[in-house]
């Protein structure tokens, strides 16, 4: 498995921001019902409280969107459920590993932040800020939709996450250390597009303050739905990015080409 060509990252060619949006739109046109269904599922997942299972939800979202993209790419959308079933186990293993990783990092940040905050209060440097009254008046379940979509977007736009997810779904879960190593190699070989994806992940941060001051529940709900849709689109672009990095495939497979549906895994059919 470690000798598979899919684990060897390449540098993407120029013209990517012309190719990827065009190919993403082509995939959506090939299988619009599948895209709509996946987007609806992502929106529904935004209603799930994610205090401790954020990693599982974010990986699950990617584990639905990327198989759909592969299905639309290689099979015009036909065997989506077969690809999805074949990827469930590897998706779970990756979610488990990322959950442990994020839990450890989160605990460290929490402890350091708590200590520094206490020191700041003691020295009079940090003062307590009053809660945002307009935001607190909005029902909690509506706030949760926006905040969850915001958190998922930050994770889904991370090239490190996108590359690990693609490898795991393509050739199986070879272990977190190998996945992380190959993903970091791919990131450093493709710094400009990786930085752009990180910037896409920061988009929710720029709209957070205006949304918090709306004081309008329906507007916040619509903003959450729009972020969930944006999240799906970014993941489709991430699939195209990772496909070119690990397979060297720059264009979608022609819609008339049908790959065999009996293969164990359809994420990698070349290389």
Annotate 115-126 with DSSP letters as a single string: HHHHHHHHHT-S
pLDDT of residue 116: 63
The mean-pLDDT minimum among 53-62, 194-203, 256-265 falls in 256-265
Largest CA distance in the chain: 69
pLDDT of residue 148: 78
Q: What is the pLDDT of residues 10-25, one digit of tens each?
A: 999 999 999 999 999 9
Tell whether the model's pLDDT for residue 110 goes beyond 70: yes
pLDDT of residue 139: 82
Tell whether the model's pLDDT for residue 39 goes beyond 50: yes
Q: Which of 198, 174, 196 is nearest to 246 (CA)?
A: 174
Average pLDDT over residues 35-60: 78
d(CA 165, CA 235): 10
**∠ at Cα 266 (261, 267), nearest 5°?**
165
pLDDT of residue 261: 43
Tell whether the model's pLDDT for residue 65 goes beyond 80: yes
Check if the beta carbon of residue 47 is closer than 8 Å to that of residue 141: yes
Q: Which two tokens stand for residue 162?
A: 């996108």
Q: What average pLDDT does the chain have?
A: 79
**How far is residue 245 from each of residues 30, 134, 167, 239, 249, measured CA to CA in Å?**
23, 45, 11, 10, 8
pLDDT of residue 83: 82
Average pLDDT over residues 154-178: 84
d(CA 245, CA 185): 11
pLDDT of residue 1: 34
Looking at per-residue pLDDT, the higher value among 114 and 81 belongs to 81
Q: Which of 174, 184, 156 is nearest to 245 (CA)?
A: 184
pLDDT of residue 133: 63
Check if the beta carbon of residue 29 is closer than 8 Å to that of residue 202: no
d(CA 9, CA 179): 12
pLDDT of residue 111: 77
Tell whether the model's pLDDT for residue 118 goes beyond 90: no
d(CA 76, CA 248): 20
C-alpha 155: how far from its chain's center?
6
SS3 6: helix
pLDDT bracket for residue 186 (50, 70, 90)? very high
pLDDT of residue 2: 37
Enter the pTM of the model: 0.81
pLDDT of residue 85: 81
pLDDT bracket for residue 35 (50, 70, 90)? very high
Average pLDDT over residues 40-61: 76
pLDDT bracket for residue 260 (50, 70, 90)? very low
Q: Based on the number of CB atoms within 10 Å of its own CB, is 4 exposed (0-12), middle (13-18) or buried (19 or more)?
A: middle
Give the residue ranges of DSSP H helices in the chain.
Answer: 16-30, 32-45, 54-75, 80-123, 133-136, 140-156, 159-171, 176-189, 191-201, 203-212, 217-247
């Amino acid at each position: 498995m470690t000798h598979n060509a899919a684990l060897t990252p390449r540098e993407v060619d120029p013209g990517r921001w012309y190719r990827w949006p065009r190919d993403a739109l082509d995939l959506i046109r090939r299988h619009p019902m599948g895209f709509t269904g996946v987007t609806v599922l992502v929106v529904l997942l935004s209603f799930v409280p994610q205090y401790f299972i954020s990693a599982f939800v974010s990986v699950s979202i990617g584990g639905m969107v990327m198989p759909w993209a592969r299905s639309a790419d290689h099979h015009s959308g036909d065997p989506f459920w077969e690809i999805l079933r074949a990827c469930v186990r590897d998706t779970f293993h990756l979610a488990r590993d990322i959950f442990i990783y994020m839990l450890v990092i989160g605990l460290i940040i929490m402890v350091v932040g708590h200590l520094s905050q206490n020191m700041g209060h003691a020295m009079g440097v940090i003062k307590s800020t009053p809660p945002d009254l307009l935001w607190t008046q909005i029902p909690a379940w509506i706030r949760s939709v926006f905040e969850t979509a915001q958190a998922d977007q930050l994770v889904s736009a991370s090239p490190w996450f996108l590359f690990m997810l693609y490898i795991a779904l393509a050739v199986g879960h070879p272990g977190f250390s190998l996945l992380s190593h190959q993903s970091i190699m791919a990131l450093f070989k493709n710094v400009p597009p990786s930085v752009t994806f990180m910037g896409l992940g920061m988009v929710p941060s720029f709209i957070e303050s205006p949304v918090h001051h709306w004081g309008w529940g329906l507007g916040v709900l619509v903003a959450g739905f729009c972020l969930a849709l944006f999240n799906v689109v970014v993941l489709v672009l991430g699939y195209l990015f990772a496909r070119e990095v690990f397979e060297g495939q720059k264009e979608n497979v022609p819609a008339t080409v049908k790959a065999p549906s009996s293969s164990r895994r359809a994420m990698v059919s070349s290389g």
